[in-house]
Structures are given as C-alpha cells and as structure tokens.
Amino acid sequence: MSNNIIKNRIKSSKITGVGSALIDLLIHETDDFLLEIDKQKGGMTLVDDSYIVDILRKISDRDSNNKLIVVPGGAVCNTIIGIGKLGGRAGFVGKRGNDYYGNFHEENLKKSNVETIFETSLTPTGKVLSIITPDAQRSMFTYLGASTELKPESITPDMFKDCGIAIMEGYLLFNRDLMMACLKSAKKAGALIALDLASFDVVQASKGILSEIVREYVDILFANEDEAYEYTGFLDESKAIDALSKDVMVAVLKIGSKGSYIAYKDEPQSKSQIVRIHAKTGKEAKDTTGAGDLWAAGFLYGIANSYSIEKSGEIASACGYEVCQVIGAQIPDHGWKRICSLL
C-alpha cells in the first residue's frame, strides 16, 4: 500500500515530540481496589503529588510486599524513545525538574539516541502512577509537576526546523495556549503534525476545540476505541475510522488485541483507503502501559522512512506487542532486536 501523500510532503525523516517528561510508577492491584478508591478503570486522572503518595500508602497497608516499579515515562517520550531505538532520528521538547528523576529521565532519552531540548525547574519532575489490574489494563493518576511550566513563548519554529513529523501529546490540550503554540510553530517550520488523542478523559475535556484543531492543523491522528468513541460518537469500528479520517491525511484506530485500522489518502481530496493491521500474537500481555505510544513509534518511524502504510503498521504492531511483554514502557534490547529484524 502506497503513502504518496506522505512521501510528497515530508521533508525529513526526523520526528520531534512535544509532551510531558514524567516518571512512571507502576504497581499491580485488583479491580476491587480501583472501586475502593473510586477510580473508573482506564483513562487518566490529574492529581497532586500528595494524592499519589496517599494511594501508595493505601496499597502498602494492604500488601507491603507489592513492589513499585520506577521507569522513565510520558506518552510522547515513550514514542520518541521508541523511534530512537529503531534507529530513527528523534527529538524531544519538554520541561523537567532539576532533580534526580529529571536527570534520570534526560539521560535515558540521550542513551536512546534522542536529541533533547529541556528546560529545567525547581518544581519536581512529574510522575504517573499506573495501577495495573489482572487484565493488564492500566488506570493512571498523573502529577504533571515541572512539565506544566513549559510556556507557550518558549516554543519556536526553530525547534522543528529539521523535522519531518512533529508529534503532539494529547495531554497538551489541558494547556490550550501551549498546544496552539506547538501546532503553529511546527506548521510554520513545515512539519507534518501528528496528534495522539491520549485518553478519553482528554477528548471529553477538549470537545469545544478539538475538532477545530484537527481540521486546521493535524495530518496524522491516533485514537484507541474509547477515544474514537468520545471523538466520533461511533462504537462501530468501520464508522469510527471513517469519521476519524475525515479531516486528516492518515487516521489510526487502535483496537488492542484485535489490531488496528489505518485510513489514508493518496491525494488530499481523495477518498480514504483503509488497511486492517492484525495484532502480533504470541504470549499473553503482562502490562499494556505504553502499548499505544510504542505502536505510534513504529508507525511514525515507518512512514518517515518511506515504508508502505502496511509495512509501517506491521512494525507498529510488533512494537505494541513487545512492550506488552514487560512491565512499563521500556522494551528491552532483545525485544528491539526482534522488531528491527522486520526492517
């Protein structure tokens, strides 16, 4: 399957992400515990640092042997790290605390072949507590910390000057001025713009502006089933992918273990063609943290490096599968070796 419209418009294979530099705190718990703390399974809830501390204390009181896993995170950070691990040209723009976690996060990016443009702050580095239930789903509590202090005036077209695709984190919609600064700067620099809707909570909170942003700025749109339903109103997969693709060059509907749909146009005004990508099968998932982020990494790497839509989807599926075999969003080297064999 061709992707002529992408090939004709992309000016560089480099992919730059803008998003939150966060530390992931991962722990296993039961469905009953989510009910106890009044958390709907899935999605993301913004909280302060003390709230996360309180939840961890409750978990420890229930089971002091329940071990906390700490890894670098942030949705677009996960995507950009994946692109770097695939051998792609990658960059990240964000803000972190001038602390242990912030240093740890930036060093991890650099080791993953990512160029970093970080501002630092005395505010602590943000963190995400992901509670992983037995079905491998994660429910997230997010303290954004220093990442919220990235200001619109800090974003310039120079950050995207050698960039073919700029990927924006859907969570930026909680700071609309910052999101608009990123979109305008990337567009002025001539980059294609990718947007991951991030969470159904984000879509719910942003309905007043989201469709306009997609229509005016977005070229590549990512959504999972919940996000697509909130955005389009359709539960039916064929109707949802058709609606997602209305105003963009490429739309992706990720449907978990069932795979994904990719809708794309060879010409701006042409009817979208739809490709079904089957999920890679094998071992049962241990944790879905980062699955969508790494799927996006494989897909964006593919189209930025002139792979077909179908091949890019295959790479994406492999990335999504491998990250589900570990706890957290960091695929180990042997996993990357298997993925890279596809290239």
In a domain, residue 42? The reply is no
In a domain, residue 214? The reply is yes
In a domain, residue 200? The reply is yes
172, 182, 70, 71: which is closest to 117 by C-alpha?
182
- CB 85, CB 107: distance < 8 Å: no
Number of domains making up the chain: 1
How far is residue 319 from each of residues 170, 221, 326, measured CA to CA in Å? 20, 18, 12
C-alpha–C-alpha distance, residues 214 and 210, integer Å:
6
Q: Beta 138-145 vs 125-132: how paired, if at all?
A: antiparallel
pLDDT tens, N- to C-terminus, the chain (343 residues): 455 667 778 889 999 999 999 999 999 999 999 999 988 888 778 899 899 989 999 998 888 888 898 888 889 999 999 999 999 999 999 999 999 999 999 999 999 999 999 999 999 999 999 998 998 888 989 898 999 999 999 999 999 999 999 999 998 998 999 999 999 999 999 999 999 998 898 999 998 899 999 999 999 999 999 999 999 999 999 999 999 999 999 999 999 889 999 999 877 677 889 999 998 888 888 888 889 999 999 999 999 999 999 999 999 999 999 999 998 889 999 999 999 998 8
Domain region containing 223 = 4-21+74-125+145-340
- CB 250, CB 274: distance < 8 Å: no
C-alpha–C-alpha distance, residues 340 and 86, integer Å:
7
In a domain, residue 151? The reply is yes
Question: How many helices and strands in the chain, by DSSP H and E?
Answer: 13, 14
In a domain, residue 265? The reply is yes
What would the two tokens of residue 234 be? 């359709």
In a domain, residue 69? The reply is no
- 3 state SS of 116: strand
pTM tops 0.75, yes or no: yes
In a domain, residue 140? The reply is no
The residues, any chain, with a CB within 8 Å of residue 332's CB and separated by 6 or more, are: 326
In a domain, residue 39? The reply is no
For position 81, which CATH number holds?
A: 3.40.1190.20
